[in-house]
Amino acid sequence: MNRLLVVDNLSKRFGGIIANEDISFHLEAGQIVGLIGPNGAGKTTLFNCIAGFYPPSEGTIRFMGNDITGMGSPMMAHLGIARTFQIVRSFGSMTVLENVMVGAMLRNKSVSVARERANDELEFCGLSARANVAASNLTVAEQRRLEVARALATEPHLLLLDETMAGLTPSEVQEAVRLVKDIQKRGIACLIVEHVMEGIMPIADHMIVLDYGRKIAEGTPAQISRDPVVLAAYLGE
Amino acid sequence: MMTKKRNSLIVVGAALALVLPFIVSNPAHQNYLILVLMFAQIGVAWNILGGYVGQVSLGHVAFFGIGAYTSTALLISVGLSPWIGMLIGGIVAAVFGVMIGWICFRFKGHYFTMATIAVAEIIQVLFTNWEGVGGAVGLYVPMDRQGWGVMVFNSKLPYYYIALGLLCVTLLGNWAIEKSFLGYYFRAIKDEPEAARSLGVSLTAYKLVAIAISSFFTAMGGSFYAQKELFIDPGSVLVTSLSVKMSLVTILGGVGSLFGPLVGSTLLTGIEEATRQFFGGSGMGIDLIIYASIIIIVAIYYPAGVLGWIKHLLRRDAKTEGGA
Amino acid sequence: MNGEILLQTLLSGILIGLVYALVAVGLSVIYGVMEIVNFAHGEFLMLGMYSSFWLFALFALDPLATLPLTLLLLFGLGALVYRFTIKRIVNAPMLSQIFVTFGLMILFRGGAQFFWKPDFRTVENSLVSGNVVINGLYFGIPHIVAALGAVVATGAVWWFINRTRLGAALEATAQDKEAAQLMGIPSHWIFALAWGLGAACAGVAGVLLSTFFPIFPEVGANFCLIAFVVVALGGFGNVTGALWAGIIVGVVEVLGGFWIGPEYKLAIVLTLFLAVILVRPQGLMGRAE
């Protein structure tokens, strides 16, 4: 077994509020793992801890065998963890291509090399036609793809996707699902926080369910969808 | 096509700049041209940190003063040529800039600006009370020797070309930054710092790079000023109003654009000269009122500056033509 | 150093520090509600001083008597400044926000120079003047009155924010602009209120200072910087923190002036501030995340 990411007994508190309590799970290389749960379950907090957005209060996070607990996000990017943002944060003064070039510059500071890499990723994400458009002029679905392309340009081993499918039309969701599967084919593992169940259930190898800041279940999508604890949590919402 | 147009504009502009002092022979007018070039140069230097990275410093006069004092003190004490003194001043200012940045970048946004003012105030107090560099009296650049070696001249003409050369060097520096990964990183930090971090860009590290380059070029402007005026004191090279002016020429012309400061400097220096001629010497407050009104109006209505405004007009014309 | 002189210096530092706290609270209220630093804050103080001076010089009205009038004038000015300039840049890029208040600073200074000349002026022989001797220590009565006035005014602001409905609305807007709007509070009114309140704090401090401080167009510059230091040390948007930080800054300033030299006063305060920020970026009184 090739454990890429191992989270052990992770807790996160803000003042007196407990957002995550004693969460453990792991993710294997090339795996797609879905992180789900009702609103306020602590998904985003867990996601942000793993992404290096803020340090966990307790517990450890290991990536490819290294302890990365409390490291900042620039360091995480260097190690091979890339992320997207729930509320898209594209660089507004740049074109679509330039946005992705910033990502590619992590591995190679040459502008022309970065441009080539960026063009490849735009092609991969189906945005080639929009390469020279200002990033702020994209549709929501396109902006989400741009974030994915930008993150992929950093050549990650693990991609953290934060609600990439929220607010998309059913056909756009299908396209997003296809994109995630293509990413997996490149050997990149994905940890996906998702609200859109039809987006995550068909592609996840493994699911983790949070409620009230704790892990209440994990397993294959089929197991999860039959789990009475999970059903109760969602119905109680 | 846009770049082709821009390139031919640059060539024409450069040719004009080279022959301009022969067309304008009145020393007072030549002095005005030198001021335009000098403020354009420090505006371009300020733009690296304030425009590209979006860290608005109003303490840049500290770097300007450090440049002026370093080259002048070295010239007086050991007779070092200001050409070398200028480089040393730039390096001293860059090191100082990194130290200051390391502290001040802990503040975000407006408070960063306030902190930079605080730093400049400290420097001003220290230099005013430091007898070794003339204290409140200031320093005179010795005039016993003249010529290119000591950068002291009787006529305005050499100063004009030195200012032009400095501006070109600084513009080239900016252009190189714009074209390299640094330019992309700087804009990324300004647009979306958190996203930049997630792509491996360390905010503090690259802000420090920006402040080092920016303060280096600002200090060179300070050394030039000292040689041109042949006299410096805290009241002339360490006052906050100078920080305001270097940022203002940039904002007026167009923040984050290569030639914005040159446009802004031409306009602002022109307005200042006109005000002075019209209302007589300063101290009446009218000059300040006009100055302030420009700042407020530009900040509220034309935040992209004159160049941004022109670009906007061109784009609108292109659109209506395309539609018709 | 003589113990008596030390005590005297310390106490005078505390007295002026309380006035600094009041100026800082005004700056903090504006920043807390809309995250805009008012670079023209010192100029509100300057205008408060001139208001006090002219009412005294023209109508022989004592500064203490005209304090409520100046308070209202500055409140109105603050609200007008918001209405005609700041309102247009609430969501503008940071650069615009910085330069609009910076432009206002220069505008007010230029206006003061133009209308009232750059001369130094003083309010002489007002009701509060002279000295008192307490246990062999000399205190200027104006200083004591100014400090007491500042404490009362700071307390009033604290009461307003924490104990009134309008103050609660102010606080809610500071926490979350959208949430406040959902509560049915138009945020533009709250912003105007914050600017009025902020300007009034500075204006009242100006009146209190006018009985013993020279009045000139640039007088606000140092006060604005010191207020900034106080806010940063006391924690952003923290009234009681500002009070303590004001006292610390006042004491450091007079002690530094005494030991190192009065010409270094401002530099000492600013250096202390940079040193503290280096160690505790959240300020002395602010809480870590």
Q: What is the ipTM of this complex?
A: 0.92
| Contact of C237 with C52, CB cutoff 8 Å | no
Does one domain contain both A161 and A191? yes
pLDDT in tens, B203-242: 999 999 999 999 999 999 999 999 999 999 999 999 988 9
Task: Indicate the residue of B179, B191, B197 with minimum beta-carbon distance to A91.
Answer: B191
The domain boundary, picked from A139, A155, A171, lies at: A155
Neighbours of chain A (3+ CB pairs under 8 A): B
Find, in chain C, the residue whose alpha carbon is nearest to that of B55.
Answer: C95
- Across the interface, whether the CB atoms of B298 and C95 are under 8 A apart is answered no
Q: Does position A162 have pLDDT exceeding 80, yes or no? A: yes
Specify if A15 maps to a domain: no
pLDDT of residue C217: 93
In this predicted structure, the answer to whether residue B107 has a pLDDT above a threshold of 50 is yes
C112 interface with B at CB cutoff 8 Å: yes
Closest among A150, C100, C146, A202 to B300, alpha carbons compared: C100
Nearest to C12 by CA among C259, C250, C268, C249: C250
Question: Percent of chain A beyond pLDDT 90?
Answer: 65
Q: How many CB atoms lie within 10 A of CB C181?
A: 15
Cα separation, B170 vs B163, in Å, equals 11
Lowest mean pLDDT among A98-112, B76-90, B304-318: B304-318
Q: Which domain holds residue A198?
A: 28-54+69-80+156-237
Distance in angstroms (rounded) separating the CA atoms of residues C281 and C123? 40
Which other chains touch chain C, taking contact as 3+ CB pairs less than 8 Å apart?
A: B
- Rounded Cα gap, residues C111 and C105, in angstroms: 10
Three-class secondary structure of residue A189 per DSSP: strand
What is the spatial distance between Cα C98 and Cα C102, in angstroms, rounded to a whole number? 6
Query: What single string gives the DSSP state of each residue in B3-54?
Result: HHHHHHHHHHHHHHHHHHHHH---HHHHHHHHHHHHHHHHHHHHHIIIIIS-
User: Which contacts of A79-82 are long-range, i.e. CB under 8 A and separated by 24 or more positions?
Assistant: A80/A154, A80/A155, A80/A156, A80/A157, A80/A158, A81/A50, A81/A51, A81/A52, A81/A156, A81/A157, A81/A158, A81/A160, A82/A151, A82/A152, A82/A154, A82/A156, A82/A158, A82/A159, A82/A160, A82/B198, A82/B199
Q: What is the dihedral of CA B307, B308, B312, B313, to 10 degrees?
A: -30
**Residues A138 and A161 occupy one common structural domain:** no
Q: pLDDT at position A97, please?
A: 97
* B185 three-state secondary structure: helix
Residue A169 forms part of a structural domain? yes
Give domain status of residue A13, yes or no. Answer: no
Cβ contact B296–C98 (<8 Å): no
All residue ranges of chain C with pLDDT < 70 are 1, 179-180, 182-183, 283-289
DSSP state of A51: T
For residue A154, what pLDDT is reported?
96
Nearest to B184 among A73, A92, A105 (CB): A105
Q: Which residue of B has its CA nearest to A147?
A: B195
With residues binned 3-state (H G I as helix, E B as strand, rest as coil), the percentages for chain A, rounded to 5, are: 40, 25, 35
Quote the crossing angle between the two packed helices C265-279 and C220-234, to the nearest 10°.
Answer: 20
Q: Name subunits touching B (3+ CB pairs < 8 A).
A: A, C
Whether residue A151 and residue B188 make contact (CB cut-off 8 A), yes or no, is no
DSSP B152: B
Question: Helix, strand, or coil here: A18?
Answer: strand
- Inform me whether the pLDDT recorded for B321 exceeds 60: no
Band (pLDDT 50/70/90 cuts) for residue B2 is: low
Measured between alpha carbons, how far is B156 from B228 in angstroms, rounded to an integer? Answer: 9
Determine contact, residues B181/B199, Cβ cutoff 8 Å: no
Query: Which pLDDT tens digit goes with each residue over B33-42?
Result: 999 999 999 9
pLDDT of residue A159 exceeding 90: yes
**Could you say which of C95, C100, C273 has the minimum Cβ distance to residue B118?**
C273
- Answer yes or no: do C263 and B128 touch at CB < 8 A: yes
Answer yes or no: do A161 and A146 share one domain. Answer: no
Residue A160 lies in a domain: yes
pLDDT tens digit sequence for C67-102: 999 999 999 999 999 999 999 998 888 888 989 999
Residue among A57, A156, A47 at smallest CA distance from A106: A156
Segment A147-175 mean pLDDT: 92
Q: What is residue A235's predicted lDDT score, i.e. its pLDDT? A: 64
B147 in contact with chain C, both atoms CB, cutoff 8 A: no
Residues from chain C contacting residue B300 (CB–CB below 8 Å): 85, 88-89, 92, 96, 100
Q: How far apart are CA C51 and CA B248, in angstroms?
A: 31
The Cα A180–Cα A177 span in angstroms is 5
Closest Cα to residue C51, out of C37, C65, C30?
A: C65
Domain check: are A205 and A217 in the same one?
A: yes
Contacts of residue B199 in chain A, CB cutoff 8 Å?
Answer: 77, 82, 102-103, 105-106, 150-151, 154
User: Nearest C-alpha of chain A: how many angstroms from B192?
Assistant: 6
Residues A169 and A142 in one domain: no
Res B322 pLDDT > 70: no
Residues of chain C with C-beta less than 8 angstroms from the C-beta of B287:
110
**In a shared domain, residues A146 and A220:** no
- Is some CB atom of chain C closer than 8 A to the CB atom of B143? no
Q: Does C31 touch chain B (CB under 8 A)?
A: yes
Burial class (CB in 10 A: 0-12, 13-18, 19+), C149: buried
Give C36→chain B minimum CA distance, Å: 7
Domain contains C287: no
Q: Which is more confident, B282 or C162?
A: C162
CA distance B68 to chain C (A): 21
Count structural domains, chain A: 2
Contact A51 B198 (CB under 8 A): yes
- CB count within 10 Å of CB B91 equals 16
CA atoms within 13 A on the CB side of C154: 28
Question: What pLDDT does residue B324 have?
Answer: 37
Q: Which amino acid is at C246?
A: G
Interface contact flag, A85 B190, Cβ < 8 Å: no
- Among the partner-chain residues B180, B188, B203, the one whose CB lies closest to the CB of A111 is B180
Instruction: Let me know whether A161 and A227 are in one domain.
Output: yes
- Nearest Cα neighbor of C246 from C150, C162, C160 is C150
Is C145 inside a domain boundary?
yes
Q: Does B285 touch chain C (CB under 8 A)?
A: yes
Asked whether the predicted pLDDT for residue B323 surpasses 70, the reply is no
Residue with more model confidence, B302 or A159: A159
Between residues A171 and B317, which one has the greater pLDDT?
Answer: A171
C1 within some domain = no
Same domain? A127 vs A228: no
Look at residue C285 in the predicted model and tell me its pLDDT. Answer: 63
- Chain centroid to CA C176: how far? 25
Is residue A91 predicted with pLDDT exceeding 90? yes
* Mean pLDDT across B282-290: 77
Contact C266 B125 (CB under 8 A): yes
Compute chain C's Rg from CA coordinates.
Answer: 19
Q: Classify residue C284: in a domain, yes or no.
A: no
Q: Are B200 and A154 within 8 A, CB to CB?
A: yes
Compute and round to an integer the Cα radius of gyration of chain A.
Answer: 17
* Whether residues A126 and A233 fall in one domain: no
Residue A118 makes CB contacts below 8 A (sequence gap 6+) with: A97, A98, A100, A101, A103, A104, A149, A153
**What does the radius of gyration of chain B's CA atoms come to, in whole angstroms?**
20
Distance to chain A for B277, nearest Cα, Å: 41
Q: Chain A residues with CB-CB distance to B under 8 A? A: 51, 53, 72-74, 76-78, 82-83, 85, 89-94, 98, 101-103, 105-106, 109-111, 114, 150-151, 154
Which residue segment(s) compose the domain that C240 sits in? 12-119+126-279
Chain B residues touching residue C232 (CB < 8 angstroms): 107, 111, 115
Residue numbers in A near B185 (CB within 8 A) = 102, 105
The side-by-side arrangement of strands in the sheet containing A17-28 is: A17-28, A3-14, A58-63, A66-67
CATH code for position A217 = 3.40.50.300
Lowest-pLDDT range of A123-127, B18-22, C100-104, C248-252: B18-22
Residue C279 pLDDT: 81
The pLDDT, as a whole number, for residue C288 is: 43
H or E, element range at B167 = helix B157-179
Judge whether C191 and C86 are in contact, CB under 8 Å. yes
- Look at residue A220 in the predicted model and tell me its pLDDT: 92
At residue A209, the pLDDT reads 92
Question: What CATH number has the domain bearing residue C263?
Answer: 1.10.3470
Residues A74 and A189 reside in one and the same domain:
yes
Domain count along chain C: 1
Any C CB within 8 A of B303 CB: yes
